[in-house]
Amino acid sequence: MTAKISYDEVEVGTELPARSFPVNRATLVQYAGASGDFNPIHWNEKFAREVGLPDVIAHGMFTMASAVRVVTDWAGDPGAVVEYGVRFTKPVVVPNDGTGALIEVSAKVAAKLDDDERTVRVDVTAVSAGQKVLGMSRAVVRLA
């Protein structure tokens, strides 16, 4: 599958529309049910603190999936993402305060990779509570 964005019209440095993703305890319960990941660090404050965390944290895969949504929304086709990887640098701490946390995501086209394959590398930045939560977050996208 290919994106709806034209390779010929995209330039290195093109910024994708930024988005913010709220996450609260209910979100974590829903994600745990969908993923089958019921690790208590994602729902039990006492356990999370006993293992050295500041509070309950969001699932890493939830954070990763939220971040790539900026890319898939821009591309217009999730199938256009042919490669995606991140390093987890900080957890998204989700307090039980009725508000939770916010994952703020921005991205830009960092390189045109292959003219024949019409692929670009998109670098993604994800921040929560003022701290970068993903490092080396990069997607390779096949454009139209």
Q: Are 120 and 10 in contact (CB under 8 A)?
A: yes
pLDDT at position 4 is: 86
Nearest to 129 by CA among 109, 99, 101: 101
- Domain 7-142: CATH superfamily is Hotdog Thioesterase (3.10.129.10)
**Structure token pair of residue 137:** 């977050």
Asked whether 7 and 120 are in contact (CB, 8 A), the reply is yes
pLDDT tens, residue by residue, 68-105? 999 999 999 999 999 999 999 999 999 999 999 999 99
- Give the start-to-end residue ranges of the domains of the chain: 7-142
pLDDT confidence of residue 1: 60
- The amino acid present at 12, given as its one-letter code, is V
Residue pLDDT, tens place only, 36-47:
999 999 999 999
Phi, psi at 18, each rounded to 5°: -75, 155
Q: Quick check: 2 pLDDT over 90?
A: no
**Range name among 1-5, 50-54, 70-74, 136-140 with the lowest pLDDT average:** 1-5
What single-letter amino acid sits at 21? F
Q: In this structure, are residues 32 and 43 in contact, taking their beta carbons and an 8 Å threshold?
A: yes
**How far is Cα 144 from Cα 75, in angstroms, rounded to an integer?**
9
Judge whether residue 55 has pLDDT over 80: yes
Length of the chain: 144
* Mean of pLDDT over the chain: 97
Residue 111 has what pLDDT?
98
Q: What whole-number distance in Å separates Cα of residue 25 and Cα of residue 31?
A: 10
